[in-house]
């Protein structure tokens, strides 16, 4: 129950009472000096967030549901802006946006864990200033070959994952988390308005791959109030921010911001704020900009930590020019566009390379990957162009046919199952084989098995002067002549086992 301190505060700030109540919103009169964003407590212990400060009353959204409140119920101020517990004890846990564990395991407070490992932190805080930041310089590898090679993400970057429903958005985000196993990157996955079952599956996927131990899941499922869905991304950012200021690299996923915008629209309409385009309130841009601005790469003086944000936005029928998609596209440093057509054609992950872009990440890409990725991008661009045009032609000249064949094999090469991220050293070897023509003599369905064998060989391969491929690339980050020769020899060697059907 209430501590003496907060009781004293309540006395100082006085209480008010509920005037009207409905749809998760209470209008409260008589609470003087309440601040915007302050937590208020109802007489039955339910918490609320003061959002609309008006002349005669205050509009409060309920954080949670209560059936014991009525007109005239007492309301107390707390003089506290909403805060949540952050710290190491959250790792491996699923919490709701109020910081309570919802994974059925012991509450970290009652489990007698050290107090020091959990701190309270405000869910709304201002983004790091310009002076303490530095530009993106380290890669945040996702393990998805098409992304790391052509749309690279750097630590501290904000990269949007956008696409229709069921196009593999969540899968890409999960791959990015799973790929951090073995590194010190702390991951936060925020689930907004998803089914509890889906969140359970996500937890399971992270658990089986060993990524859960360094991940915090913040979940406001579809049955939670709009208010909790609205605050959950800020809570996720707060959890990550704590680690960032401690000097850690963090990765935070907001899945997805369209649902958060809808929850915010719901609250705003019930609070009778004026609706604007698509009935969203006027400050819906600020809703997302103040969240994504909190992602940063800090300079050494500020601890050198970083927060990489991968927000997800759902489109309707691929329409990226709708209100929320254009807003978030303009706030982020690039987008990964997932196409329904590609997904249905069996290209998975269904990344549309032509519409995807990363505006800052290539500065952080490792040199060896840069060496091979340029050619890949070019060949795929040529392929996309020729493919559109060759639909009309009955006979193709040899060069066109060659480009189309090569493109189809490269596309096959970029296919990747979910939850199976590929280490960057192997990505480089794969792209080297693809762009140097070692896949050209294979039939399309041989490409997958061939690459599997090839990867296995590459993992064991060493140059003539006894330098193992994987370790050398990992330490030098360059693909020198010796290593290129080694890849060429290995690719050719494996090719012997595959005769074109």
The reply, when asked if residue 166 is annotated as ligand binding, is yes
Q: Which of 340, 418, 457, 474 binds ligand ATP (CB under 6 A)?
A: 418
Q: For the chain, give me the number of helices (H) and strands (E)?
A: 15, 17
Is 359 among the residues known to form the active site?
yes
The verdict on 417 binding ligand ATP (CB under 6 A) reads yes
The reply, when asked if residue 463 is annotated as ligand binding, is no
The verdict on 167 binding ligand ATP (CB under 6 A) reads yes
The verdict on 229 binding ligand ATP (CB under 6 A) reads no
Choose, from 359, 418, 457, 474, the residue flagged as catalytic: 359
Site string for ligand ATP, 349-388 (x = CB under 6 A): x---------------------------------------
Structure tokens at 3: 């501590």
The backbone region for 92, taken as left when phi is positive above 0, alpha when psi lies in -120 to 50, beta otherwise, is: left
HEC string for 349-378: CCECCCCCEECCHHHHCCHHHHHHHHHHHH
Q: How far is CA 245 from CA 44, 199, 252, 294, 296, in A?
A: 36, 28, 14, 12, 10
Structure tokens at 127: 């983004």
Out of Mg ion, ligand ATP, none, what residue 89 binds, judged by CB under 5 to 8 A for its kind, is none
The verdict on 168 binding ligand ATP (CB under 6 A) reads yes
Give the C-alpha separation, 402 to 390, whole Å.
Answer: 12
Closest separation in Å from C-beta 116 to ligand ATP: 37
Q: Which of 170, 215, 262, 339 binds Mg ion (CB under 5 A)?
A: 170
Closest separation in Å from C-beta 211 to ligand ATP: 16
Q: Which of 10, 121, 155, 169 binds ligand ATP (CB under 6 A)?
A: 169
Closest CA to 250 of 265, 258, 260, 239: 239
Q: Interacting stretch for Mg ion, rule CB under 5 A, among 153-161, 163-171, 203-211, 402-410? A: 163-171
Classify 423 as helix, strand or coil: coil
The reply, when asked if residue 170 is annotated as ligand binding, is yes
The DSSP-derived string for 56-121 is S-EEEEEES--SS--TT-EEEEEEEE-EEEEEGGGTT-EE-TTS-B-SSSPPTTTTT--GGGEEEE
Q: Which is nearer to Mg ion, 170 or 332 (CB)?
A: 170
Q: Which is nearer to Mg ion, 170 or 308 (CB)?
A: 170
Give the C-alpha separation, 391 to 48, whole Å.
Answer: 60
The reply, when asked if residue 305 is annotated as ligand binding, is no
Residues marked as catalytic: 359
Residues of the shown chain interacting with ligand ATP in the complex, contacts defined by CB under 6 A: 163, 165-171, 314, 348-349, 416-418
Residues of the shown chain interacting with Mg ion in the complex, contacts defined by CB under 5 A: 170
């Amino acid at each position: 129950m209430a501590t003496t301190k907060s009781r004293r505060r309540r006395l100082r700030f006085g209480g008010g009472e509920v005037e009207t109540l409905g749809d998760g919103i209470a209008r409260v009169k008589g609470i003087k000096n309440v601040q915007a964003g302050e937590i208020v407590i109802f007489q039955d212990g339910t918490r609320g967030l003061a959002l609309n400060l008006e002349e005669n009353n205050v509009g409060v959204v309920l954080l949670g549901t209560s059936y014991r409140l009525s007109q005239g119920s007492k309301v107390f101020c707390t003089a506290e802006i909403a805060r949540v517990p952050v710290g190491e004890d959250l790792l491996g846990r699923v919490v709701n946006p109020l910081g309570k564990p919802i994974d059925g395991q012991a509450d970290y407070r009652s489990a007698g864990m050290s107090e020091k490992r959990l701190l309270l932190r405000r869910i709304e805080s201002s983004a790091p200033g310009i002076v303490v930041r530095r530009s993106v310089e380290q890669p945040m590898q996702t393990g998805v070959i098409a992304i790391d090679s052509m749309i690279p993400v750097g630590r501290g970057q904000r990269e949007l994952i956008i696409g229709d429903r069921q196009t593999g958005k969540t899968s890409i985000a999960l791959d990015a988390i799973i790929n951090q196993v073995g590194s010190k990157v702390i991951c936060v996955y925020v689930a907004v308005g998803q089914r509890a079952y889906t969140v359970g599956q996500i937890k399971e996927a992270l658990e089986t791959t060993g990524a859960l131990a360094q991940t915090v899941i913040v979940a406001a499922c579809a049955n939670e109030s709009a208010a909790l869905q609205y605050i959950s991304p800020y809570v996720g950012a707060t959890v990550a921010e704590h680690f960032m200021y401690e000097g850690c690299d963090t990765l935070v996923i907001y899945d997805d911001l369209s649902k958060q915008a809808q929850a915010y629209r719901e609250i705003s309409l019930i609070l009778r704020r004026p609706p604007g385009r698509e009935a969203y309130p006027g400050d819906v841009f600020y809703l997302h900009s103040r969240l994504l601005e909190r992602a940063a790469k800090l300079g050494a003086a500020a601890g050198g930590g970083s927060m990489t944000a991968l927000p997800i936005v759902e489109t309707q029928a691929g329409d990226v020019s709708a209100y929320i998609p254009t807003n978030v596209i303009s706030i982020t440093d690039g987008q990964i566009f997932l196409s329904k057509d590609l997904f249905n054609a069996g290209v998975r992950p269904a990344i549309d390379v032509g519409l995807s872009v990363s505006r800052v990440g290539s500065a952080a890409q490792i040199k060896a990957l840069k060496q091979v990725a340029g050619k890949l991008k070019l060949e795929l661009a040529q392929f996309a162009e020729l493919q559109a045009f060759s639909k009309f032609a009955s006979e193709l000249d040899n060069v066109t046919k060659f480009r189309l064949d090569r493109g189809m094999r490269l596309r096959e090469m970029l296919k990747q199952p979910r939850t199976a991220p590929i280490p960057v050293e192997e990505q480089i070897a794969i792209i080297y084989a693809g762009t140097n023509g070692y896949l050209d003599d294979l039939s399309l369905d041989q490409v997958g098995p061939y690459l599997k064998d090839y990867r296995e060989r590459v993992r064991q391969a060493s140059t003539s002067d006894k330098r193992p491929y994987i370790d050398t690339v990992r330490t030098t980050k360059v693909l020198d002549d010796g290593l290129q020769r080694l890849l060429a020899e290995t690719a050719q060697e494996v090719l012997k086992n595959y005769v074109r059907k």
